[in-house]
Amino acid sequence: MSSSIGEKCTKIKQEYDGCFNNWYSEKFLKGDATPQCDDLFFKYKECLMQTLEEKKLDTLIADARKDNPFPNASSSSSSSKSESSSKKE
C-alpha cells in the first residue's frame, strides 16, 4: 500500500486502504454499496487535511477542483440537488 503525503498519516491511511480494498472487491463490485470504512476515513482525512494545510496545498487543490471533471455526469444527476456551484452557468 502506498504512503501518505503526510508521513504521520501513513499508518491510518494504510489501515483505511485495507478496509477500502476489501470493501471494493468483496462488496462494491458485487453490488453492495453500503459504506463500511467511514470511521477510518474520517480519522485518516483529519490527519491528511492538517498535512495539506501545513504544506499549503489546500488552496491549490481547492482551485484545481473548481473545474468539474465530469460535467456530463453531474448535470444528469444534480437536478434534484441544489449545489451552489451549479448556478454559475
Partner 1 sequence: MVKFYQHTSSFEHAWDNVTYAFWLRYPNPFASHVIGCDVLDRSVDPVTGVLRTTRLILKQGVLPRWGRSLIKSPDAYIIEESEVNPKTHTMVTRTKNLNHVRVMQVEETQTFTIHPENPKWTQVKTEARIISELRWGMTGRVESFGINKFMDNSVKARKGMAHILERLRQNAAAAAAASAVAPLEA
Tell me which residues touch partner 1 (CB under 8 A).
Answer: 1-6, 9, 13, 16-17, 20-21, 24-25, 28-29, 31, 33, 35, 41, 44-45, 48, 52, 57, 60-61, 64-65, 69-70, 73, 77, 80
* Minimum CB distance to partner 1, residue 39 (Å): 14
As a three-state string, the secondary structure of the chain is: CCCCCCHHHHHHHHHHHHHHHHHHHHCHHHCCCCCCCHHHHHHHHHHHHHHHHHCCCHHHHHHHCCCCCCHHHHHHHCCCCCCHHHHCC
Residue number, 24 or 85, with CB nearest to partner 1: 24
* Minimum CB distance to partner 1, residue 77 (Å): 6
* Minimum CB distance to partner 1, residue 62 (Å): 10
